[in-house]
Amino acid sequence: MSLIAEVIRKHEAELTSDWIKEMASSTRRSDLLKETELKSQTTQFVRALGAATESGSTEDIAGTNFSAVREILTETSRSRAAMGFTPSETATFVFSFKRPFVSRLQKEAKDPQSLWSETWKFNELLDKLGLYTMEVFQKSREELISRQQQDMLELSTPVVRLWEGVLALPLIGTLDSARTQVVMESLLKKIVETNSQVAIIDITGVPTVDTLVAQHLIKTVTAARLMGADCIISGIRPQIAQTIVHLGVNLSDITTKSSMADAFLVALQRGGYSFVKKTELA
Amino acid sequence: MDRIPILRMGEFLLVTIQVDMHDRLALTLQDDLTSRISETSARGVLIDISSLETVDSFIGRMLGNIASMSRVMDAETVVVGMQPEVAITLVELGLSLPGVRTALNVERGMDLLRNSRRHGMEGRR
C-alpha cells in the first residue's frame, strides 16, 4: 500500500475537517453552497481517493480505479458550473486539499526522501484531478452555449402569415449556411401548411450581404419557386444594393423591393386584391 | 406497376406520380406522354408530384426534359405539389428547372393552365 493511501485511510476524518477549514479561508462560497452539501462532497471525495490510491497506481487518473473519483468530480464541477461558481473557485476545490494532506503526510513520513517523493506524487495527482475538474467545468459551459445557439437559430427565423396566401420572413442577423438551411426548411414547410403563393423575405436586419449570402437567398427563392410560390426580397438598403451590384450578383430574376410595405402591396395585387382609400371612394 | 397513368381532362393531360420514380419508369413516361400529346393534341400537361419524396439528378433532369418536350409540342407543363425536401434537393443539385411552371397544388395548377390558355387564345386572335 502506498504512503498516500495509508495517510488517507488513517486520517480520513481529520483530513476532511482540515480541508473544509482550508476552504473556508480560500474559496468557501457560503452564499452559493450549503455547509452540509460541502461536507458530503468532501467526505465522498476523500473516501473515493483513498480507495483509488489503495487499489492502483496514482499515475493515470483515467484508469478504472479512479472512476469513482472522476464521477464525484464531474458531479461537483457540473453543479458548481450551474450554480455560478467561477472557474478558479471550482478548481480550488481540488487544489485546496493539498495543504491539509501534505501537513499530515509530513508527520507520517519516515525520512525526508520518501516525504519528498510522496509529496511530488500527490502533487501531480491533484494537478491532474484539478485539470479534469476544469475540463468538465468547461464542457458543461460549452454545452450551455451550444444549446443557446440552437435556441437562437430557431428563434430568429419566424415565418409570419401576413394575409391569406402571403407569408413574410423577416431575417435578422448574419446569414450562414446552417442558418439558411433552417430558414429555407421552415419557409418551405410553412408554404405547404398555409398554401401560400407569395413569400416576402425581408433582409432589413441582415447586416451584410456577400456573394455567399446572396447565393443562399437565390437558393431559397428557387426552392420556393419549384414548389409553386413566388418570392419577393424586400428591405434592400442602399449599401446592400451597392455591394450586390459591385459583387456582380445577378438578382434580376427575383422581384426585389426596397421596403416590406412595397413588397406586401405587390403580393396583394398578385393575389387579386386592390386597395382604395375610403375618402377616394366618396 | 410499370406505367404511370396519363389521364385526359378536356384539353389537358393529367399525370399523377404515385410511386417512387425509377429511371426506366421516367423514360417510359416521357415516351407515353409525348405520344399522348400528339394523339390528343393536348394544350397543357399537369404533373402532380406530391407523393414523390425523393429525387435524384436523373429524375430532376427528366422533369425538365418532359416540360421542354411538351412545350415544343405546344402544350404547357405545370409541375405541382413539390415537397419541400424535394425542392431543397433539386436546388442543391443545381437543377432549378428553368422554364418549368410550378404551382402549389392541382387546383392552382389547373387555374394556371386555364389562364395561360385563355391569354394564349386572346393573343392569337
The full set of domain ranges for chain A reads: 3-148, 160-281
Q: Strand (E) positions, chain B? A: 6-9, 12-16, 44-48, 76-80, 101-103
Query: In the 8-state DSSP scheme, what is residue A205?
Result: E
Give the fold, CATH level 3, of A3-148. Answer: Globin-like (1.10.490)
Contact A227 B88 (CB under 8 A): no
A182 touching B (Cβ < 8 Å): no
Structural domains of chain B ordered from first start: 6-124 (3.30.750.24)
- Give the pairing of strands A160-163 and B12-16: unpaired
Q: Tell me the C-alpha distance between B92 and A218, whole Å.
A: 11
Chain A residue numbers touching B103 (CB-CB < 8 A): 228
- Convert the pLDDT of each residue in A4-59 to its tens digit: 888 888 888 888 888 888 877 665 566 777 778 888 888 888 888 888 888 777 77
- B94 in reach of chain A (CB within 8 A): no
pLDDT at A157 over 90: no
Contact A228 B102 (CB under 8 A): yes
Is A13's Cβ below 8 Å from some Cβ in B? no
Question: How many CB atoms are closer than 10 A to CB A160?
Answer: 12
Q: Which residue of A has its CA nearest to B96?
A: A222
pLDDT tops 50 at residue B125: no
In CATH terms, the fold of domain A160-281 is Transcription Regulator spoIIAA (3.30.750)
Cβ(B101)–Cβ(B76) under 8 Å?
yes
B108 touches chain A (CB under 8 A): yes
What pLDDT shows up at residue A66?
83
Query: In the predicted model, is pLDDT for residue B35 greater than 50?
Result: yes
Whether the ipTM is more than 0.90: the answer is: no
Per DSSP, the residues of A107-159 read HH-SSHHHHHHHHHHHHHHHHHHHHHHHHHHHHHHHHHHHHHHHHHHHHT---
Distance CA A78, CA A133 (A): 9
- How distant is the Cα of A256 from the closest Cα of chain B, in angstroms? 19
Is residue A212 within 8 angstroms of chain B, CB to CB? no
The grid coordinates listed for A246 are 459591385
Contacts of A262 (CB under 8 A, 6+ apart): A234
N- to C-terminal Cα distance for chain A? 103
